[in-house]
Chains A and B, each alone.
Chain A
Amino acid sequence: MTHFWLALRSEFLKSRRTLALATTIWLPVFIAGLYFALAYFKAEDFAKTGMNPWVLLAQNLFGLYSVLILPMYAMVVAFSTNQIEHVANAWKNVFTLPYPRLTIYVAKWAFAFLLILMFSVLLCGLVFFEGNLLAVLKPEIGFQDYHSYDLIGRLFFKFFLAILGVFSIQFLLSFLWRDFIRPVGTGLALTIAGAILAGWKFAWLFPYSATPRINEQFYKDKTALWGPELWVSLGVTLALFGVGYLLVLRRSTR
């Protein structure tokens, strides 16, 4: 277990000045900032709808979040965490350390997983903060009249679970391919396909449709807790985690 913690800490140390870490921190700030500005300067439009402003804010955010922001972010994290080793040609170096290969693989995977979790928690927290700030600065919108933390928190959690399938596929592609074009290009094509096919009756089987489907459900049934696409996402995550480990174990470092 000591090996695992050391390897995980090493991943955080290595992530300094990387795209993955910068995106995890600054992208939520940027997104929340934009939505805050939108609500602040369009306060009257928000108030006019007569809707729960938390739901309105969430609908505005999750449309883009589910189709583009979250899948792209997962791709960037998967790519960046593997790219560190590819660029440094460091896989062979890492494998000459007195560490079991499983530990190295699990630590890297766990690090990327934690980044996505941090990203989700940070953005969720910023949305809560933003709503409360608007309640003070623009009370006419009415954020202070509703309490939708549970609804929004649950949705962020569902999006987090739903993106794990996509992340696992991207992680494996980025581990296998050294370049940027193949893993990210493939991921982008699959993300577009996922968004287009989200309404198809078998789309729940396609991990890249999971986040757009959850967004659609949000419009239809705000109380929905779980959906089949989440099982698929978790199943794919588990299966690809195993496949990745077998690849690491057998990987020759030419």
Chain B
Amino acid sequence: MSDFLIETENLTFAYGSQPILHGISLRVKPGAVYGFIGQNGAGKTTTIKVLLSLLPEFGGQVRLFGQSIRRHRLDILARTGALVEEPALYQHLTGQENLLNRALLLHLPGQRALDILRQVGLYEARYKKVAAYSQGMRQRLGIGLALLGAPDLLILDEPTNGLDPNGIREIRELLTGLSRLGVTVFLSSHLLSEVEKIVTDLGIIHQGRLLFQGPIESLRDSAREELRLDTSDNRRCFDLLQADYPQVGWKNGLPSLGGVSREEVARLNARLVGQGLAVYALEWARKDLEQLYFDIIQTPPPTP
């Protein structure tokens, strides 16, 4: 029996002659909140579709709950709730009718649909047609549909899409609460910052390859410290440093450099003062996870 709730081995997938996934080996522990991070087009949704048996013709092995998705599709899906891409909702039905329809298919009492409406904050809007729902309401209803069957595993593809900051916070709280109840959550996002507060584990996918996988703490540990300097003339300070420290860069308008020891900092300070610069601050700053993520996928972060 595997120790992992989701386990893929050398997963490959191609649309026709175009390869999309190149040997993905996912390991998701039971009870984890696993963030699956990657840019648009990295292969996140394709991976999720393979996990849910929506793309049956893949290479490699896929096991959920220790069972092969090829041979035990129904058993696996019976324990899994999913939201893939945008929520698939029947526009001509009300929010309540959408949930009642799903409850009927899952052989659940109608009361369960009402409970879910309360849980995702749509109880007041339950008689409104979905066509009149905002993007955020639809997203919440989509998550509600995924939660309806009280699944052991929740697979959510970009669950915070279209939500305002308050909505994002509510979803975070909801997922954290579910995780406490023992539900394993696998969620994809193209923004690490959106999920880093709730995930326990992380997988970073880029161009169909899994570049990092492990506990988020191990990623945090690898965040190296950087020295930030604030002086009376930061431009001159930058030029002076560049001769000896070619790695110097700018961060939030301040010269910033990594890979220097504490002793070097003292020498550097003396040198800057000697050049007539007033040094206001020398502070250590950790690289944020977003920057680390871009380092891993070796792509410059987008400029704001």
Binding site for B on A (CB under 8 A): 2, 6-7, 9-10, 13-14, 16-18, 84, 87-100, 250, 252-254
Contacts and interface: CB of A to CB of B under 8 A. Distances in A.
Interface of B: 15, 49, 52-57, 74-75, 77-78, 80, 82, 84-86, 88-93, 97, 100-101, 104-107, 145
B90 A90 contact: yes
Kindly list the 8 A-B residue pairs having the minimum CB-CB distance in the complex, ordered from nearest: A93-B88, A98-B78, A90-B88, A98-B77, A253-B54, A98-B74, A96-B82, A96-B52
Contacts of A14: 90, 93, 101
27 contacts: A6-B105, A6-B107, A7-B105, A9-B104, A13-B100, A16-B92, A16-B97, A17-B93, A18-B92, A87-B90, A88-B90, A88-B91, A89-B85, A89-B86, A91-B88, A92-B49, A92-B88, A93-B84, A96-B52, A96-B53, A96-B82, A96-B84, A98-B106, A99-B105, A252-B56, A254-B15, A254-B49
Chain A CB within 10 Å, residue with most, of B54, B77, B86: B54
A252 B82 contact: no
A6 B103 CA distance: 10
A13 B101 contact: yes
B147 to A, nearest CB: 14
Given A89-B88, A98-B77, A254-B49, 17 more contacts: A10-B105, A13-B97, A13-B101, A14-B90, A17-B92, A17-B93, A88-B88, A90-B89, A91-B88, A92-B84, A95-B54, A96-B53, A97-B105, A97-B106, A253-B54, A254-B15, A254-B55
Contacts of B15: 254
A13 B93 CA distance: 9
A93 B54 CA distance: 9
A165 B160 CA distance: 46
A168 B183 CA distance: 43
Nearest to A94: B88
A237 B24 CA distance: 43
Contacts of B77: 96-98
A253 B49 contact: yes
Contacts of B53: 95-96
B84 to A, nearest CB: 6
B107 A84 contact: no
A145 B2 CA distance: 80
Contacts of B85: 89, 92
B88 A2 contact: no
Given A6-B104, A13-B100, A254-B15, A87 B49 contact: no
A88 B87 CA distance: 8
A93 B52 CA distance: 10
Contacts of B82: 96
Nearest to B146: A96
Contacts of B55: 252-254
Output the residue of B52, B56, B89, B105 with the most chain A CB within 10 A: B105
Nearest to A90: B88
B104 A13 contact: yes
B101 A10 contact: yes
Contact of B91 (A16, A87, A250, A252): A87
Contacts of A13: 97, 100-101, 104
A79 to B, nearest CB: 15
A2 B55 CA distance: 26
A92 B101 contact: no
A96 B97 contact: no
A84 B90 contact: yes
Nearest to B73: A98
- Find the residue from B53, B75, B92, B107 having the highest chain A CB count within 10 A: B92
Nearest to B15: A254
A7 to B, nearest CB: 7
